[in-house]
C-alpha cells in the first residue's frame, strides 16, 4: 500500500531531479541539498534580522515607520536586508516542505531515521511561529490582521487568564509593553528553531548542514536579484480603530488564515494537531525493518577502525579490547542503528577475495549477505561470461545495488551482473581480483544517483576508494581504465544501457594486456 503511494511519486520526483541535474550538475542540484539549504536560509534570515533589528523601533508608534524607512531611506543595503529577511524566510518554508516530501517519497524517514523525521515535526511549528511573529512586528494592516486572527486562534484554547484579543480592541489597549513581548518572542522562537534543527540532525553521522559553496553563492545572487527587482514592502499602517478588509497574504506563512476565517478556530486546531500527529507517526505506518545487523568477528577484527569511520549511521563504535589479543580496540555494532548496508564490510581490510574460502571470515560481515556470498555470486557471474566473444566484444561484469538502477534485466552475451545491498559494500580488492586474473575485461559499478546514496555515503566512499583517497583503496597495479561508474536512480535504465555501450567501445579501443606488455 505504502509502495503504491511512494513509487509513482518517486518517479515524478526523480524526473524533476533529473532535469535539475542538467543546469546545476549532480553536485549542486538543490533538490539533493534541501536540508542544508533550509539551514542556509536560516543563517541568511538571522544575519539580515540582526541588521533590521539595529534600525527597528520597539514601539507601537515607531515600528511601522522604522521598517518602512529601511526600504525607502536606505534603499540599497537596508532594502536588501529587509527583503533578504522576508524572502529567505519564505524560501525556508519551500525547502523545508520539499525536504519533508522528498524524505517521505524516497522512503528515508523510517527505521533508524525515525528520530530525524519525528523531530522535524516541531520544526514546522517553530518555523511558522517564527515567520508569523515577524509579520506582527511590521505593524501594518497585514500585521493587524495576522495578530488579531492569531490571538483569536490561541484564545480558543482558553489557557490565558485574559483573552489575548482584548489587547487589540482599541489603539489605547495595545501598549508598548506588548510590543516588547512580541519582539522578544520573535527572537526567542527562532532560537528554539535553531536548537530544534540541531537536535534534528544529532543522530545523523556527518550531516550535511551546509550547501556546496557554488549553490550557496548562486542562492545569494538569486535572493539579491529578487530583492532588487521586487523589494519587500509593507501594507498601510495598522489602525486598530478600523477593521482590515483587504490584505495581500504571504501564502508561504499565512496559508491557514483564510481557513481560520472560513472554518473557525476549533476546526483549525483539530486539523493542525491531527496533521502533526499523523506526520509524526508516519515512520511506524508501517515500521521499516532491516535485515540482521552487521556482526563483528573477534578473531578477525584488528581494531583498525575503518568501519567506524565509514559507517554512515554511526552504528559502529570502537571499544577497549579485553580478550588478550594484541590490538587495543575492537569494533562493536549497535544493532538498533545498523541498516545492514554492508558499507563497513567494504571498508574492512580483511574483506578480500584473494583469501581462501575457509579464511574468508572478515572482521565485520552481514549475516544475510556474507562476503563469501559476494565472492560466490561474483564467481558465478564470471562463469557465465564466455572465454571469447564474437567481434571481440569486451566481457563486462556489473556490480549493482539494491536501491539504484535496476540491473536485473541488463545481462547480455558479454555483460553479467552481480547485485549487493549497497555499492559501498564492494571492497576494491574484488576489482583487483577480477582484472588481475583477467576474469573480465572491464568492471562497471552502479548505485544510486550521485550525491543521493540511499545509505548516504556508499557512492562517496566508493569514489574515494577508487581514486586512492580512502582506505581500502584500489591498488595501483589495477588498470583504472578498465573500471567504469554509472550512478543513477531506479528509473535510469536507459542511462545504464548507454553507459554500457560507451564502456564497451572504450574497452575495445584499449590495448590487450599482451599488447600493453610488448
Residues binding ligand HEM: number (CB under 6 A) = 27
Q: Which of residues 13, 333, 423, 434 is near ligand SF4 by CB under 6 A?
A: 333
**Which of these ranges, 87-95, 235-243, 308-316, 409-417, lies near ligand SF4 under the rule CB under 6 A?**
308-316
Residue placing its CB nearer to ligand SF4 in the complex, 104 or 313: 313
39 binding partner (options ligand SF4, ligand HEM, none; Cβ < 5 to 8 Å by kind): ligand HEM
Q: Which of residues 14, 123, 315, 478 is near ligand SF4 by CB under 6 A?
A: 315
DSSP state letter for 357: G
Q: Which residue has the cell 524607512?
A: 69
CA dihedral for 400, 404, 409, 411, sign (positive or negative): negative
Residue placing its CB nearer to ligand HEM in the complex, 220 or 280: 280
Which grid coordinates belong to 112?
533508524
Reply yes or no: is the peptide bond before residue 127 cis, omega within 30 of 0: no
C-alpha 472/C-alpha 490 separation (Å) is 28
C-alpha 383/C-alpha 347 separation (Å) is 26
C-alpha 443/C-alpha 61 separation (Å) is 73
448 lies in the binding site for ligand SF4 (CB under 6 A): no
363 lies in the binding site for ligand SF4 (CB under 6 A): yes
314 lies in the binding site for ligand HEM (CB under 6 A): no
Per-residue x/- track, 333-372, ligand HEM (CB under 6 A): ----------------------------------------
Rg (CA), the chain: 29
Cβ atoms within 10 Å of 303's Cβ, excluding its own: 17
Q: Which of residues 52, 63, 67, 100 is near ligand HEM by CB under 6 A?
A: 100
Reply yes or no: is the peptide bond before residue 472 cis, omega within 30 of 0: yes
Residues 273-302 that bind ligand HEM (CB under 6 A): 279
Three-class SS state of 115: helix
CA dihedral for 462, 464, 470, 471, sign (positive or negative): positive
197 lies in the binding site for ligand HEM (CB under 6 A): yes
Residues 109-128 that bind ligand HEM (CB under 6 A): 109, 113, 116-117, 120-121, 123-124, 127
- Residue whose CB is nearest to ligand HEM in the complex, by number: 120
Q: Which residue has the cell 562497471?
A: 444
36 lies in the binding site for ligand HEM (CB under 6 A): yes
* Chain residues in the site for ligand SF4 (CB under 6 A): 293-294, 296, 301-307, 311, 313, 315-316, 331, 333, 338-344, 347-350, 363-364
Amino acid at each position: 500500500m505504502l509502495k503504491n503511494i511512494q513509487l509513482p511519486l518517486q518517479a515524478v520526483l526523480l524526473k524533476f531531479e533529473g532535469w535539475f541535474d542538467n543546469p546545476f550538475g549532480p553536485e549542486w542540484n538543490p533538490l539533493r541539498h534541501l536540508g542544508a539549504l533550509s539551514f542556509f536560509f536560516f543563517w541568511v534570515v538571522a544575519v539580515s534580522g540582526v541588521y533590521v533589528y539595529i534600525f527597528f523601533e520597539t514601539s507601537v508608534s515607531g515600528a511601522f515607520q522604522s521598517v518602512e524607512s529601511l526600504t525607502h531611506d536606505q534603499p540599497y543595503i537596508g532594502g536588501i536586508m529587509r527583503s533578504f529577511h522576508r524572502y529567505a524566510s519564505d524560501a525556508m518554508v519551500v525547502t523545508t516542505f520539499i525536504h519533508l516530501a522528498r524524505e517521505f517519497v524516497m522512503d528515508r524517514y523510517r527505521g533508524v531515521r525515525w528520530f530525524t523525521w519525528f523531530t522535524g515535526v516541531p520544526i514546522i511549528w517553530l518555523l511558522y511561529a517564527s515567520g508569523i511573529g515577524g509579520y506582527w512586528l511590521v505593524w501594518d494592516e497585514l500585521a493587524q490582521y495576522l495578530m488579531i486572527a492569531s490571538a483569536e486562534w490561541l484564545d480558543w484554547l482558553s489557557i490565558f487568564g485574559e483573552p489575548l484579543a482584548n489587547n487589540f480592541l482599541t489603539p489605547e489597549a495595545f501598549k508598548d509593553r506588548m510590543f516588547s513581548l512580541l519582539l522578544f518572542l520573535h527572537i526567542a522562537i527562532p532560537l528554539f528553531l535553531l536548537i530544534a534543527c540541531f537536535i534534528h540532525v544529532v543522530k545523523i553521522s556527518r550531516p550535511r548542514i551546509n550547501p556546496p559553496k557554488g549553490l550557496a553563492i548562486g542562492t545569494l545572487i538569486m535572493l539579491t536579484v529578487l530583492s532588487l527587482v521586487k523589494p519587500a514592502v509593507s501594507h498601510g499602517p495598522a489602525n486598530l480603530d478600523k477593521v482590515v478588509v483587504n490584505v495581500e497574504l504571504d501564502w508561504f506563512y499565512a496559508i491557514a488564515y483564510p481557513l481560520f476565517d472560513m472554518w473557525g478556530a476549533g476546526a483549525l486546531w483539530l486539523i493542525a494537531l491531527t496533521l502533526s500527529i499523523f506526520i509524526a507517526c508516519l515512520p511506524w505506518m508501517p515500521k521499516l525493518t532491516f535485515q540482521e545487523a552487521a556482526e563483528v568477528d573477534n578473531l578477525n577484527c584488528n581494531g583498525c577502525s575503518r568501519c567506524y569511520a565509514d559507517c554512515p549511521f554511526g552504528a559502529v563504535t570502537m571499544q577497549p579490547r579485553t580478550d588478550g589479543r594484541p590490538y587495543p580496540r575492537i569494533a562493536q555494532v549497535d544493532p538498533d542503528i545498523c541498516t545492514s548496508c554492508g558499507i563497513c564490510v567494504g571498508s574492512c581490510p580483511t574483506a578480500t577475495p584473494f583469501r581462501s574460502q575457509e579464511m574468508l571470515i572478515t572482521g565485520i560481515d552481514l549475516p544475510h549477505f556474507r562476503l563469501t556470498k559476494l565472492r560466490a555470486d561474483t564467481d558465478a557471474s564470471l562463469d557465465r561470461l564466455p572465454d571469447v566473444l564474437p567481434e571481440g566484444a569486451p566481457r563486462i561484469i556489473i556490480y549493482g545495488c539494491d536501491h539504484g538502477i535496476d540491473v536485473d534485466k541488463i545481462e547480455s552475451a558479454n555483460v553479467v551482473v552481480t547485485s549487493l545491498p549497497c555499492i559501498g559494500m564492494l571492497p576494491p580488492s574484488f576489482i583487483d581480483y577480477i582484472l588481475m586474473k583477467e576474469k573480465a575485461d572491464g568492471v562497471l559499478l552502479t548505485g544510486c544517483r550521485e550525491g543521493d546514496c540511499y545509505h548516504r555515503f556508499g557512492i562517496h566512499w566508493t569514489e574515494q576508494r577508487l581514486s586512492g583517497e580512502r582506505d581500502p583503496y584500489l591498488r595501483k597495479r589495477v588498470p583504472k581504465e578498465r573500471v567504469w561508474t554509472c550512478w543513477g536512480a531506479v528509473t535510469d535504465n536507459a542511462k545504464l544501457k548507454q553507459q554500457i555501450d560507451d564502456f564497451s567501445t572504450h574497452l575495445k579501443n584499449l590495448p590487450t594486456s599482451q599488447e600493453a606488455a610488448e
